């Protein structure tokens, strides 16, 4: 027992001076850093344009006294309002905001600004009617979208071009049988909308407005598919009726160039029968049966139009010559 008391006293004599030395008032106590990492609840933010759509950032943890700025203020504004970090969309695009707190921590966050949640088009259906075998166009536009548009049809016979402003030009070639296509327009935010395109053919070559223009000009001329042959001015005029009742109009330049129309039924206004078209030279080589109609006869001049179909393409022409 005596030995145990001696051992205890010996330990106390060693430890007590160490304890008093460790608690000396002259030693400084290290400061404790209670700040926490700045943590944001999202990895990116989508905000719709407009002050009414401003969005508060979800800060999961931080040290308060937040500051924030946007790298491109033409796209987004970022500010602190009532202690919250707020982002407001200005124009379509992408930028970064930088958030910091009083603890010296900061975070960068991608921000995507957009205009609408629904892509709206002027039309959901369009009808395109063209001369058989000819390409026609139709124009429409995006009413509301986010820019960065693409347009693609599910039928290769239909193509479309779209501008950054959302102006759409649809092109298609008609066939003997009508057909349809679905045109999908997509914006930079992956919103999409569709247009049903219906394409059909007509064998009517001229509109009423085009006929009025033809009849208003009394100049001698011969056209095919919107073109004339420059050799006509050098050629010999053909304007006759034969013993079989055939009316013949046109011109010929030696044996190299020819444009000749023949038909039965006289020169009065109306549709004619047994129409034939022969040509060679700058307008190609043709020997075709045609549908021909006299559209005007003023007693001095005669105006006529004609059509024929070859290889599923409607060809059309007109003429004006002396009666």
Q: For residue range 22-81, list pLDDT tens digits in order.
A: 434 445 545 445 678 999 999 999 999 999 999 999 999 999 999 999 999 999 999 999
Q: How far is CA 103 from CA 61, 81, 140, in A?
A: 12, 19, 55
What integer pLDDT is reported at residue 243 of this predicted model? 85
CATH 2.60.40.10 region(s) of the chain? 120-202
Top CATH class, 208-322: mainly beta
The token pair that represents 191 in the structure block: 């919103």
Contact between residue 277 and residue 260 where contact means Cβ atoms under 8 Å apart:
yes
Phi/psi for 174 (5° steps) reads -75, 155
Rg of the chain in Å (alpha carbons): 43
CA 40 to chain centre: 37
Q: Is the pLDDT of residue 290 over 60?
A: yes
Domain at 39-114: CATH code: 2.60.40.1080
d(CA 306, CA 323): 17
Please give the CATH topology (third level) of the domain spanning 120-202.
Immunoglobulin-like (2.60.40)
CATH 2.60.40.1080 region(s) of the chain? 39-114
CATH 2.40.128 region(s) of the chain? 208-322
Q: Which residues are CB-neighbours of 159 under 8 A, at least 6 positions away? A: 153, 170, 171, 172
> 304 forms bridges with which residues in the sheet?
294, 319
Mean pLDDT rounded to a whole number for the chain: 89
More confident residue, 11 or 94: 94
d(CA 231, CA 151): 45
d(CA 66, CA 64): 5
Number of neighbouring beta carbons within 10 Å of residue 26: 4
Q: For residue range 84-125, list pLDDT tens digits in order.
A: 999 999 999 999 999 999 999 999 999 999 999 999 999 999
The model's pTM is 0.73
d(CA 189, CA 145): 9
Pairing verdict, β 76-81 and 84-89: antiparallel
């Amino acid at each position: 027992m005596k030995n145990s008391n001696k051992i205890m006293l010996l330990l106390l004599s060693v430890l007590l001076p160490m304890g008093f030395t460790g608690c000396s008032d002259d030693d400084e106590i290290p400061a404790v850093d209670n700040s926490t990492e700045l943590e944001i609840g999202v990895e990116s933010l989508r905000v719709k344009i407009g002050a009414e759509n401003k969005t508060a950032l979800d800060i999961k943890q931080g040290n308060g006294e937040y500051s924030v700025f946007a790298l491109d203020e033409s796209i987004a504004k970022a500010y602190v309002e009532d202690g919250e970090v707020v982002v407001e969309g200005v124009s379509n695009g992408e930028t970064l905001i930088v958030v910091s707190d009083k603890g010296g921590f900061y975070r960068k966050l991608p921000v995507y600004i957009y205009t609408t949640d629904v892509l709206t088009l002027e039309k959901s259906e369009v009808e395109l009617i063209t001369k058989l075998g000819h390409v026609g166009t139709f124009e429409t536009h995006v009413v509301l979208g986010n820019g960065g548009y693409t347009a693609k049809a599910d039928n290769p016979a239909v193509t479309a071009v779209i501008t950054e402003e959302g102006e759409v030009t649809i092109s298609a070639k008609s066939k003997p049988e009508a057909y349809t296509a679905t045109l999908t327009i997509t914006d930079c935010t992956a919103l999409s909308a569709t247009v049903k395109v219906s394409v059909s053919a007509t064998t009517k070559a001229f509109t009423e407005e085009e006929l009025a223009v033809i009849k208003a000009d009394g100049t001698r001329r011969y056209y095919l598919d919107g073109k004339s042959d420059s050799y006509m001015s050098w050629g010999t005029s053909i304007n006759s009726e034969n013993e079989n009742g055939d009316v013949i109009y046109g011109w010929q330049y030696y044996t190299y160039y020819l444009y000749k129309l023949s038909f039965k039924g006289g020169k009065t206004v109306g549709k004619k029968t047994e129409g034939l078209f022969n040509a060679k030279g700058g307008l190609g080589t043709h020997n075709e049966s045609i549908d021909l109609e006299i559209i005007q006869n003023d007693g001095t001049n005669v105006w006529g139009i004609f059509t024929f179909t070859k290889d599923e393409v409607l060809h059309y022409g007109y003429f004006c010559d002396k009666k």
